[in-house]
Structure 1
Amino acid sequence: MSANSPLEETSDSSTKDESQDLASLRSELNAIQERLSTESDLEPITPEEAAEIYLEDRREDLVESTVQDYRRSLDFFVKFCDLEGIDNLNNLSGRTMREYRAWRRSKSSHKTLSPKTMRDEMYLMRNFLGFLEDIEGVETGLANKVQTPELSYEDEVREGHLSKDRANEIIQHLEEYEYATAEHVIWLLLGALGCRRGGVHSLDLEDVHTDRSELFIEFHHRPKGGTTLKNKKAGEREVNVSEEVAEVIDDYIEHNRIEVTDDHGREPLITTTHGRMAKSTISKYIYKWTRPCEIGKDCPHDRDPDECEDAQTIDSASNCPSSQPTHNVRKGYLTAERSNNIPIEMLADRCDVSPEVIKKHYDQRDKTDRRELRQEIYEEVYGDSRGGYLS
């Protein structure tokens, strides 16, 4: 067939038309994609505005202390956005959130965050971004791009706590050198009751009963009065105290407590010249006294206390590698009580914590230890290990 046959000319014309059609379709698709990339239903929002709107939305469901914890976490995100020049969250991407995750873990503070802390931080970010998706502040699907660390059981359980020996050393030191001061009483309440920092902060004079044969302290949820418990009304309870602890509290009230009322006209147990002692100050006293050098111990980090920056002021105490937060005192208390075979149900009521959490985080005994404890309890109740229908 010749090169100029009618059949070949028709074939060439058809191929040319198809190429033109494909080029036209590509052009239209490119135009659509360009319009989609430039046209957005998102409403511009700054990091600061987003954080405030989110916190206000969550305030109905959370106690104020949790709202403030969230605020501190989101402050890191706002700071990151400022460092990166991000003033409109419409522009956030999965890559940006990955960069934030790396920055938050190792560069946002003086020490690398633990896997559990990072998990909590990233869960908050996913919730935060999901909320912003709903109000058209970020692209749909961004929250799902936030990676949350997967923790093993060992990671979840392996959390620091203040040992019973260290706690006793600190309390003995306070009894000798800081007797019946606010700091001494704070340590006794945390160390003898296993309560949370918020519980100590919430106590009023009327909650302390040390003038009768039954010595106990009441914990109340009073949101209208400016103090809250983590589990709200469900966290209200009466907790017995020993005669020794009651005596120290009485001496504190009589000799060292500053007689003031708070902003709600209440009489707090732990006071300063300005009223009720702040939770942050309570934390500082725990960081302060968990520094080994503060109670005359040698520094385990080979530092000279006279030159160590972390040993100079109470505000820098939290930077000491050996200092511990208030929650570790509570965890140490629960761990010690489980080692002493105190039943989980009793601890759950006393410390306002679920039996499941106690079993997972504070019960380190093996199955033989647990069997022997059950044997002791059955023998105490029934005289042997039968029980049930056979008793």
Structure 2
Amino acid sequence: MGGNGGVGVSERERQRTDPAEWEPAEAAHRYLRRRRADASEKSIDGWQYRLKLFTEWCESVGIQYVGDLKRYDLDEFYELRSAEIEPVTLEGEMYTLQTFVEFLEDLGAVEDGVSDAIRIPDLDPSERASDTKLATDDALALLRYYRNSDQRGRRGHALLELAWLTGARQGGLRALDLRDVHLNETPWVDFRHRPDTSTPLKNKIGGERPVALPEEVADVLRIYQRKYRYDVRDDHGRQPFLAARNGRPTENTIRNWCYMATQPCVHSECPHGKNRETCDWVDYTHSSKCPSSRSPHPVRTGAITWMLNRGWPPEDVAERVNASVQTIENHYDKADLSERRRRLRNRMEKRRRPLLDQLDISETNE
């Protein structure tokens, strides 16, 4: 107890720093540490990069403590970044900055309402994501070729079948173990979140889900497993389904496999006027340079668009690919105008046509 009879104050408590006196870099570190419990490492890495740009700017203009931040500082930072980057990139940076400053407000490190001064670009949904996708015609041509050629069941074919028919993210495909791919009479794959052994899912436990497979896809995967899969284990003793010679592939390796598997010249003439026998782009290390090749993300985008065009309700697609309906509508549904019109007509026929009988005024219905 203190000599004045009040509650004693420890030396540690006297030395605690007022949050307003945190340096911007320290405050960003504390914010990211709090978010690690509910966010993926990829998200943390992205936020860390964005906030590093902001804290370096603070240092360059002499803002020593976060308590010194004023509304006009945030507006000035917005003006600086808006002159250097695309609107869609600016939107992401400003959202990250806004949530960071809201964190500081909650702790009393900055004045209430400072985060309101952070401008967010007002973008049309079509501006938020690239229209690049693996087009349906291209995907189906590739799959038909692989299924009916001596390439059937090889690793690139197996990867493309899984990516197109499940709409899974690259990390989810990489995370699959041999034990997660069930190729019995009712084939399905089980996406599991295993962060402790280096295969986290983007949405963590929320990304875990079973996904049913068509029998034709299962047959391809059986061939791959039996004839072409390397019988290896990763550094944690697990058996990756999509296996490299030395174990589980890196994300960059998965991308390169996908680039190689989606080159149109594997089944037809090169649309870019090149000869496959002499083209540098067919080399593993240069496959991403082919304008027609696609990484897993555009394959996912194309697959989601295809599922919607095939008449799948958005809610069912969202569950299959582990995304919200709003995210699908804003970022993944890249149907052109004719596809959208056809989709609406089909929906009308399937869902609304049977209801017309209830609008028949020739009969008396109470």
More displaced 10-residue stretch of structure 1: 340-349 or 140-149: 140-149
Query: Larger RCO: Structure 1 or Structure 2 (Cα < 8 Å, ≥ 6 residues apart)?
Result: 2
TM-score under structure 1 length normalisation: 0.66
Q: Which residue of 1 aligns with 2:173?
A: 200
Please point out which of 291, 297, 306 is paired with 1:327: 297
Contact 1:98/1:147, CA 8 A, preserved across alignment: no
> Is structure 2 residue 104 aligned with structure 1 residue 118?
no
Alpha-carbon contact 1:196-1:327 (below 8 Å) kept = yes
Question: Is 1:202–1:219's contact at 8 Å kept on the other side of the alignment?
Answer: yes
In the alignment, what sits opposite 2:158? 185
Q: Indicate whether 1:98 and 2:79 are aligned.
A: yes
Q: Is the partner of 1:347 in helix, strand or coil?
A: helix
Q: 1:89, 1:138 within 8 Å by CA — same for their partners in 2?
A: no
Distance change (3 Å), C-alpha of 1:387 and 1:322? same
Report deviation, 1:181: 3.4
Distance 2:315 2:60 in 1: 52
- The TM-score with structure 2 as length reference comes to 0.70
Q: Deviations over 1:234-280 (max 9, x none)?
A: 43332222333222222222233222223333222122244322223
3-state secondary structure, aligned to 1:271: coil
Shift of 1:230: 3.1
Q: Is residue 224 of structure 2 the alignment partner of residue 243 of structure 1?
A: no
Is the contact between residue 375 and residue 385 of structure 1 (CA under 8 Å) also seen in structure 2?
no
Residue identity opposite 2:179 in structure 1: E
Whole-angstrom distance in 1 between the partners of 2:343 and 2:142: 30
Residues 267-313 of structure 1 show CA distances to partners (whole Å, capped at 9, x for unaligned) of: 2212224432222322333345555567765455x89999998x386
How far 1:333 moved relative to its partner?
1.1
Question: Residues 50 and 173 from structure 1, CA distance in 2 versus in 1: closer, same or farther, beyond 3 angstroms?
Answer: farther
Alignment of 1:77-156 (within 5 A): 77=53, 81=56, 90=65, 93-94=73-74, 95-103=76-84, 105=85, 113=86, 115-131=87-103, 143-156=115-128
Cα deviation for residue 119 of structure 1 reads: 1.6
Give the aligned residue type for 1:263: D
Greater alpha carbon shift after TM alignment, 164-173 vs 357-366: 357-366
**1:188, CA displacement in angstroms?**
1.2
RMSD (CA atoms): 4.3
Alignment of 1:309-324 (within 5 A): 311=281, 314=284, 317-318=287-288, 322-324=292-294
Q: Tell me if structure 2 keeps the 8 A contact 1:170–1:290.
A: yes
The correspondence of residues 69-80 of structure 1 with structure 2, limited to 5 A, is 69-71=46-48, 73=50, 77=53
Change (3 A) 1:180 1:172: same
- What SS does the aligned partner of 1:264 have? coil
1:354 alignment partner in structure 2: 324
Q: List aligned pairs for 1:240-319, cutoff 5 A.
A: 240-290=212-262, 297-298=269-270, 300=272, 311=281, 314=284, 317-318=287-288
Aligned mates of 2:287, 2:120 — CA distance in 1: 30
In structure 2, how many angstroms separate the alpha carbons of the residues matched to 1:314 and 1:167? Answer: 20
The secondary structure found in structure 2 opposite 1:275 is coil
Q: Is the 8 A contact 2:260 2:287 kept in 1?
A: yes
**Residue 164 of structure 1, CA deviation:** 0.6
Distance 1:142 1:303 in 2: 56
d(CA) in 1 for partners of 2:316, 2:23: 53
CA distance, structure 1, for counterparts of residue 285 and residue 60 of structure 2: 31
Structure 1 stretch 212-221 or stretch 169-178: which is displaced more?
Answer: 169-178
CA distance in 1, matches of 2:111, 2:291: 41
Deviations along 1:44-91, one digit per CA (max 9) or x if unpaired, are 354xx665443322111113333344345556x28x949x96797649
In the alignment, is the contact (CA less than 8 A) between 1:45 and 1:137 conserved in 2?
no
Separation (CA, whole Å) in 2 of partners of 1:307 and 1:102: 43
What is the letter of the counterpart of residue 199 of structure 1? Answer: G
Distance 1:132 1:186 in 2: 44
Assess if the C-alpha contact under 8 Å between 2:235 and 2:247 holds in 1: yes
The letter of the residue matching 2:23 is P
Give the aligned partner of residue 314 of structure 2: 344
In the alignment, structure 2 segments of 5+ residues that lack a partner are: 1-18, 360-364
Q: Does 1:44 align with 2:16?
A: no
Amino acid at match of 1:348: A
Q: Is the 8 A contact 2:311 2:343 kept in 1?
A: no
The alignment partner of 2:199 has SS state of: coil
CA–CA distance in 2 between the matches of 1:303 and 1:130?
53
